[in-house]
A and B are shown apart, each in its own frame.
Chain A
Amino acid sequence: MLLSAYQRVRRRLPAVHIPYVSSLPASQRFGLKLIAPALAMMLLVHGIPVILGFVMSFYEFPSLRYTDWFRPETFVGLAHFMKVFQKDTIYGAQFWNSLKVTVLYTVGSVIGTYVLGLVTALTLDKQFRGKLVARTVILLPYVTPVVVTLLTWRMMFRSDTGVINALLRQAGLIEGSLFWLLGPNSLYAIIIANVWRNFPYAAIMLYAGLQSIPEQLYEAAEIDGAGRWGKLRYVTLPQLKPVSAVILLLLILWTFINFPVPYILLGGSPSESGNVLMLLIYSFGFKQSAYGIGSALSAMLFLFSMTIAYVYYKRVVASSYDGGTI
């Protein structure tokens, strides 16, 4: 019905002639027509703000009258970037600390997520009763609304009456209470919550990867005298390399620019050890109205994550699909 309505409207509209496009064969024109809405939206919402963000990082903005932002008063050139890079300014100190925290957060989360995901996938690959139930339970962290689960983690991490401290006390690992969401432990808190959130994804992807390994490889390894460890070491892990490359790439990016986990667990103004770059930029932009500095920082974050993605893509993903060695 919608379709015929669309066609009725379409017939009344005059034919549009775009110089280059009109000369293409009909099928190519149709293909272009189909991507046009997506392309237009992406240019509007991704293209323009990204360019604007870069431009803004070169200007000083009237912080109190932010509604006049499109009349920026002073062109400051690279001053924001210089401020950020100098370790002895207040901005610089915060930036370098945040960069360190973000890298630690990413490395810790990605290693934790991948290892836990791999172990989960390996155990799911065995034969046992209730496999479907186990798979459902394992996917719970991934499909429960993230805000809801993060608030639950926040509750469990409370220092005085939180269940995690209570469990640790029961196990005799600590005395008194640990502060999880304040001070040096906040980094561990966000890593744990992030690992919990993402490991089902890694597990399901790796599980699918395990299923696609041909049985003959294991049989051949068995003939060559490989035990369980040998099969894992020389068949399973190498065969999982391509899918692992994709998973690691996605996990690195997702964690590097992750916002909800630190924001909901630690709030808008976290301790130094949990002040990841995303939170730092957020607080520059929306707490201190320092849009110039905020834009400069996010432009750098963008270049940084694009570089990681590109290098990784070229080095690992592309080469592993061509059958090369990682």
Chain B
Amino acid sequence: MLSSLMAAVGSEKTLVPDEMRLTADGKELVYQLLWRSVLILILIFAIFPVWMMFTTSFKTRTEVLQLGLDILPTDPYVQNYFLMFQRFPLVDYYVNSLIISSVTTVLSLLIGGLAAYSLSRYEFPGKEKFEMGALATQMIPGVLILIPMFLLFIFMDQSLNIPMKDTYHGMIFLYTTFTVPFTIWMLRGYFDAIPTALEEAARIDGCTRTQALFRVVMPLAAPGLAATGMFVFLLAFNEVLFASVLATDSVTPFSIGIQNFQQQDQTMWGQMMAASTLAAVPLLAIFVVFQRQIVSGLTSGSVKQ
């Protein structure tokens, strides 16, 4: 039906009298209006939940429960931002998350960076297999690892006396491994783009391979490292599945702790959204600053191939 309609419109049949048909300028205008309004709708869709988070953080309990579509907080209730700290140890959650995520980022960049550099420059037996393996790890459902991992952690706790569950090093070890394949994938593109002539020159000047890597290549790849690091940080910061099982007591990260605002009988939406806003703002600020690198980092991996 649609195609017949299109055909009727396209075939210049006299469905519409000549004087009512749009001129070329008119068509252009309609077209401009159309795509601009589509873009505006998409922008609203993209920003709406973030905006709701922001406005709700300034609402009292009763205001949250009232029906209302007020776009701007008319009478901001700032107390949410203070009360939330009294209810749960939010600062601890946040610090836990920062420790776990930043150490993960550093380790993942180091280990993944070495491997990515190796893949980009050197040939060695089993290279293809390693590449495929790294890609395949991205397709393993988390739960498949989670159940054995949970039991392994308990085994190490009880039989070997190595605490793993609810520790920083346990979570950092897990997250580093989960993010390394991603780091390899992203950094490889950056290393490929750095000309090999520079390292060769450094080698001729008497650098060892290791020195050439750390003194010449790594500084040149700094923008790529920054963008990749930001993603690794976000991945670790956002992780829920493993954290909900393996990091519950003393190392509860923010992503798990914030869900405590949701109680059986009531939810402190205002305070929860205030905590959310506080958590999101630094990350969004980093994103705005590094936007260019992040966007090019996101796209370089797959579009270029």
Contact = CB atoms under 8 A, between A and B. Distances in A.
B139 A123 contact: no
Interface of B: 31, 35-36, 38-39, 42-43, 45-47, 49-50, 52-53, 56, 64-69, 111-112, 114-115, 117-119, 121-125, 127, 130, 133-134, 136-152, 154-155, 158-159, 173-174, 176-178, 180-181, 184, 209-211, 214-215, 234, 237-238, 240-241, 244-245, 254-255, 258-259, 262, 267, 269, 272-273, 276, 279-280, 283-284, 287-288, 291, 294-295, 298-299, 302-303, 305
A298 interface: yes
Given A134-B39, A196-B49, A35 B118 contact: yes
Interface string A10-37: 0000000000000010011111111101
A152 B276 contact: yes
A251 interface: no
A190 interface: no
A243 interface: yes
27 contacts: A7-B210, A46-B145, A48-B148, A49-B148, A49-B149, A120-B39, A128-B36, A135-B291, A137-B43, A141-B50, A145-B238, A145-B279, A148-B280, A151-B272, A205-B298, A256-B141, A257-B139, A282-B143, A285-B143, A285-B150, A286-B245, A295-B148, A298-B141, A298-B147, A301-B141, A301-B144, A305-B139
Nearest to B122: A31
A34 B118 contact: yes
B35 A123 contact: yes
Contacts of B46: 137-138, 140-141, 196, 200
Nearest to A54: B144
B236 to A, nearest CB: 11
Contacts of A266: none
A46 B95 CA distance: 28
Interface stretch (A74-82, A84-92, A103-111, A163-171): A163-171
A53 B145 CA distance: 7
Contact of A66 (B39, B154, B303): B154
A95 to B, nearest CB: 14
A86 B232 CA distance: 41
A212 B139 contact: no
Contacts of B42: 116, 119-120, 123, 138
A42 B134 contact: yes
Contacts of B298: 201, 204-205
A210 to B, nearest CB: 10
Task: Tell me whether chain A's interface is mostly helix, strand or loop, or mixed.
Answer: helix
Given A137-B43, A144-B280, A42 B137 contact: yes
Interface of A: 3, 6-7, 24, 27-35, 37-39, 41-42, 44-46, 48-50, 52-53, 56, 66-67, 69-70, 116, 119-120, 122-124, 126, 128, 134-141, 143-149, 151-153, 155-156, 161, 163, 166-167, 170, 196, 200-201, 204-205, 208-209, 212, 228, 242-243, 246-247, 253, 256-257, 259-260, 263-264, 278, 281-282, 285-286, 291, 294-295, 298-299, 301-302, 305-306, 309, 321
A251 to B, nearest CB: 12
Given A243-B303, A305-B139, A305-B141, A166 B276 contact: no
Contacts, number: 290
A53 B150 CA distance: 11
B259 A147 contact: yes
A298 B144 contact: yes
Nearest to B238: A146
A34 B115 CA distance: 5
Most chain-A CB neighbours within 10 Å: which of B52, B65, B174, B294?
A: B52
A143 B234 contact: yes
A3 B118 CA distance: 18
A253 B180 contact: no
Contacts of A67: 154, 158
A121 to B, nearest CB: 10
B231 to A, nearest CB: 9
Given A149-B50, A301-B143, 16 more contacts: A24-B124, A31-B124, A38-B112, A38-B114, A45-B177, A52-B148, A70-B151, A119-B38, A141-B46, A145-B237, A149-B49, A151-B259, A155-B267, A166-B67, A260-B238, A285-B143
